[in-house]
């Protein structure tokens, strides 16, 4: 299990390095296109810092609002509260806030910028359909995202991808705006044009790949936390077999959930926010 966790961390690091190289390449091409190699990078840095700061400090509120999750107190659902509290103690984490989404779909997510500002949210459907050990498996999975700082990582990745899309739009405007003061050579203009088209796609693929790797890592860490991999494996079987469409499914937050909130979508594997449930279940049962 420890080897699997280390492997997933190495893969995630490699993906992040690729992402950074794409961002740097895009910024240099942007600057070359306008005859100022560093100007584009400076603008990109300013926009990135601003967007990252907003997302960093408001990510939990944004996610809860987008999913329709309502925070609860212990008296509202003692069973859920105690489950989260006990597993948080086991994981060595502060007690996170707890929220419930009034939705029949089976799903859950965690968000927040760090251990002290985390939130774990589950749907009413999940509470109704899962057994106690299955629920513990799901909560342990989400707390693993908190403990491993996945929630912070994915917030940063999403913001950086949004920045790439913004810069691509800015450069498109430059191409079609009829500016006559471009100093970049023809070769750099071609490279810039290619980056306009390819960078948002690469960024999205990297976000999805990081998300998939982090799901495997959280599965392994969650199983270690409960010492019962079958609980999460059984929960994933029920979740993957659920036919309810999450009513507030959103592509911007889909990667945060334990399972994709979209149902009946024939996405190809490269564009899936989560690894196939069958592979996740197989890996968990191989740990037993």
pLDDT in tens, the chain (288 residues): 566 556 656 765 776 676 667 666 767 776 776 677 677 677 666 766 676 677 678 878 888 998 999 999 999 999 999 999 999 999 999 999 999 999 999 999 999 888 999 999 999 999 999 999 999 999 999 999 999 888 877 766 666 666 666 666 666 666 555 555 555 556 556 666 676 676 667 666 666 666 788 899 899 999 999 999 999 999 999 999 999 999 998 877 888 899 999 876 544 455 577 899 999 999 999 997
Give the DSSP H or E segment for 17. helix 2-33
Residue 71 pairs in a beta bridge with 99
Three-state SS at 98: strand
Q: What is the structure's pLDDT at 63?
A: 87
Asked about 128 being catalytic, the answer comes back as no
Q: What is the structure's pLDDT at 118?
A: 95
CB neighbourhood size of 13 (10 A)? 12
Q: Which of 142, 215, 230, 282 is catalytic?
A: 142
Task: Please tell me the distance from the alpha carbon of residue 217 to that of residue 141, in angstroms, as a whole number.
Answer: 9
Task: Please tell me the distance from the alpha carbon of residue 80 to that of residue 95, in angstroms, as a whole number.
Answer: 13
Three-state SS at 122: strand
Nearest CA among 151, 275, 265, 161 for reference residue 212: 275
Residues 6 or more apart in contact with residue 26 via CB below 8 angstroms: 44, 164, 167, 168, 195, 199
> Distance of alpha carbon 163 from its chain centroid, rounded?
16
What is the spatial order of strands in the sheet that 97-101 belongs to?
A: 69-71, 97-101, 119-123, 108-111
CA distance to 49, 119, 123, 149, 192, per residue, from 212 (Å): 26, 21, 22, 15, 30
Q: Let me know the angle formed at the C-alpha of 16 by 282 and 262, rounded to the nearest 5 degrees.
A: 50
Task: Please tell me the distance from the alpha carbon of residue 209 to that of residue 201, in angstroms, as a whole number.
Answer: 12
């Amino acid at each position: 299990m420890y080897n699997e966790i280390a492997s997933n961390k190495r893969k995630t690091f490699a993906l992040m390095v690729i992402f950074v190289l794409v961002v740097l390449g895009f910024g240099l091409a942007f600057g070359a296109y306008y005859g100022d190699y560093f100007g584009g990078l400076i603008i990109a840095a300013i926009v990135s810092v601003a967007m990252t700061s907003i997302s960093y400090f408001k990510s939990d509120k944004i996610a809860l609002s987008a999913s329709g999750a309502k925070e609860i107190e212990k008296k509202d659902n003692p069973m859920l509260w105690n489950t989260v509290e006990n597993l948080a103690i086991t994981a060595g984490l502060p007690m996170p806030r707890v929220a419930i989404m009034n939705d029949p779909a089976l799903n859950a997510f965690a968000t927040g910028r760090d251990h002290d500002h985390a939130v774990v949210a589950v749907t009413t459907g999940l509470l109704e359909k899962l057994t106690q050990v299955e629920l513990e498996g799901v909560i342990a999975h989400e707390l693993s995202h908190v403990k491993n700082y996945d929630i912070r990582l994915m917030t940063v990745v999403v913001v950086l991808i949004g920045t790439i899309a913004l810069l691509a739009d800015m450069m498109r405007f430059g191409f079609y705006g009829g500016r006559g003061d471009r100093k970049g050579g023809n070769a750099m203009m071609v490279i810039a044009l290619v980056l306009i088209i390819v960078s948002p796609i690469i960024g999205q693929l990297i976000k999805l790949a990081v998300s998939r790797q982090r799901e495997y890592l959280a599965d392994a860490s969650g199983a270690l936390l409960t010492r019962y991999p079958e609980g999460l494996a059984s929960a994933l079987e029920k979740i993957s077999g659920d036919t309810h469409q999450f009513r507030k499914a959103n592509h911007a937050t889909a990667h945060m959930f334990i399972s994709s909130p979209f149902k009946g979508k024939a996405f190809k594997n490269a564009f899936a926010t989560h690894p196939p449930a069958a592979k996740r279940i197989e890996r968990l049962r191989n740990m037993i």
